[in-house]
């Protein structure tokens, strides 16, 4: 079993479980993780995922041993690792809780999540250049969008690792915790997210993510139209009525019978 799945109410923690290989990401891990998440993505009771590893490694990259002997035609024919795009496309919010190494594909996996929390011992890097290759699961694109071209170029051309503080300063992580607290705090934040309407958390993700593709005018229009669309949901009524009535809202998400 490459993935350990645990439920905490509406939160599902998915722990990468190849400790002897520092959670290196192979094809089997990819299929296992993506299959679990695609199934749970449809479950209205699941409001947020936490993706994590262990204290030493979130994931030390794509599995070098799996890839090393492949030919160009095999890589092209299999469209090697294209399956990770399905991970990126999961609509339920997902938080990466990173302790230890998040390198190469591991850093890319974290960046395909919606938020990255790091423990004090976290190390991020895109060291593929040392292997005679380049990032292959979106690193050159996503890292550049997140930290900017000059910093991304420094990391990708030198292969150097950055620590949690530097990652925080660069906007790659949004919160740092002690290694002991990391998972608990990530579950706490995920529980908050899963207490909201899954309809609005999914739409919120969509509008933020579209900002990477659209110009400002189109993006603002898209946001406004999506904002309008939420007035077709019972959760908008519930959320606003609960505010006026000074009570906690009870969101139904996709379980609402009407609309
Ligand atoms: N793959 C396979 N095994 C790995 C691994 C990896 N990425 N990282 C570590 N391991 C294995 C080690 O081989 C070792 O196994 P045994 O020798 O015990 O059998 C075990 O994990 C423990 O590792 P170390 O003994 O090396 O542990 P240390 O604490 O000494 O060092 C380290 C930790 C993280 C600094 C070191 O293990 C390391 O440098 N690991 C490699 C990091 C790396 O280079 N990551 C990037 C991988 S390439 C694509 C194209 C390219 C890619 C993807 C897709 N497409 C065309 C779609 C490339 C992506 C990558 O991520």
pLDDT of residue 257: 65
Q: Which of 10, 47, 61, 105 is catalytic?
A: 105
pLDDT of residue 182: 98
Residue 173, phi then psi, degrees to nearest 5: -120, 155
Q: Which residues pair with 52 in a beta bridge?
A: 15, 97
Of the candidates 1, 108, 3, the one whose C-alpha atom is nearest the C-alpha of residue 53 is: 3
Q: Strand, helix or coil at 46?
A: coil
With beta carbons less than 8 A apart as the criterion, state whether 165 and 175 touch: no
pLDDT of residue 255: 83
24 lines ligand 1 (CB under 6 A): yes
Q: Which residues of the chain have pLDDT under 50?
A: none
Choose which residue among 53, 61, 160 to substitute to test ligand 1 binding: the one with the highest number of ligand atoms within 8 A of its C-beta.
Answer: 61
136 lines ligand 1 (CB under 6 A): yes
Q: Is 62 tagged catalytic?
A: yes
What b-and-e string marks burial along 232-253, b requiring 16 or more CB atoms within 10 Å of the CB?
ebbbbebbeeeeeeeeebebbb
**Strand pairing category for 3-8 and 11-16:** antiparallel
pLDDT of residue 204: 98
**Strand pairing category for 123-125 and 101-103:** parallel
pLDDT of residue 258: 61
Dist. CA 61 → ligand 1 center (Å): 6
- Ligand 1, atom 20, residue with closest C-alpha: 21
H or E segment and range at residue 37: helix 27-41
pLDDT of residue 249: 97
81 lines ligand 1 (CB under 6 A): yes
Question: What is the DSSP code (8-state) at residue 14?
Answer: E
Please give the C-alpha separations between residue 252 and each of 66, 160, 237, in angstroms, as whole numbers.
Answer: 44, 46, 11
Q: How far apart are CA 209 and CA 157, in angstroms?
A: 27
- Ligand 1, atom 41, residue with closest C-alpha: 60
pLDDT of residue 259: 55
Dist. CA 101 → ligand 1 center (Å): 10
pLDDT of residue 256: 80
């Amino acid at each position: 079993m490459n993935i350990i799945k645990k439920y905490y109410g509406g939160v599902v923690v998915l722990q990468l479980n190849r400790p002897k290989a520092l959670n290196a990401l192979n094809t089997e891990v990819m299929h296992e993780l993506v299959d679990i998440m695609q199934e749970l993505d449809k479950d209205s009771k699941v409001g947020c995922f936490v993706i994590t590893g262990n204290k030493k490694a979130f994931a030390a990259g794509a599995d070098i041993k799996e890839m090393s002997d492949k030919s160009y035609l095999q890589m092209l024919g299999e469209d090697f690792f294209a399956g990770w795009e399905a991970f990126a496309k999961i609509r339920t919010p997902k938080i990466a809780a990173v302790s230890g190494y998040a390198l190469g594909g591991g850093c890319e996996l974290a960046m395909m999540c919606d938020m990255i929390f790091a423990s004090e011992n976290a190390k991020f890097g895109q060291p593929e250049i040392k292997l005679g290759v380049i990032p292959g699961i979106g690193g050159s694109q996503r890292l550049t969008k997140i930290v900017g071209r000059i910093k991304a170029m420094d990391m990708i051309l030198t292969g150097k690792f950055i620590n949690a503080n530097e990652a925080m300063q660069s906007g790659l992580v949004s919160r740092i915790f002690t290694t002991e607290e990391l998972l608990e705090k990530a579950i706490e934040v995920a529980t908050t997210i899963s207490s909201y309407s899954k309809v609005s958390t999914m739409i919120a993700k969509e509008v933020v993510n579209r900002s990477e593709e659209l110009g400002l005018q189109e993006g603002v229009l898209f946001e406004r139209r999506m904002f309008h669309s939420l007035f077709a949901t019972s959760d908008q009524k519930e959320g606003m009525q609960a505010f006026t009535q000074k009570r906690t809202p009870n969101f139904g998400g996709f379980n609402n019978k009407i609309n």
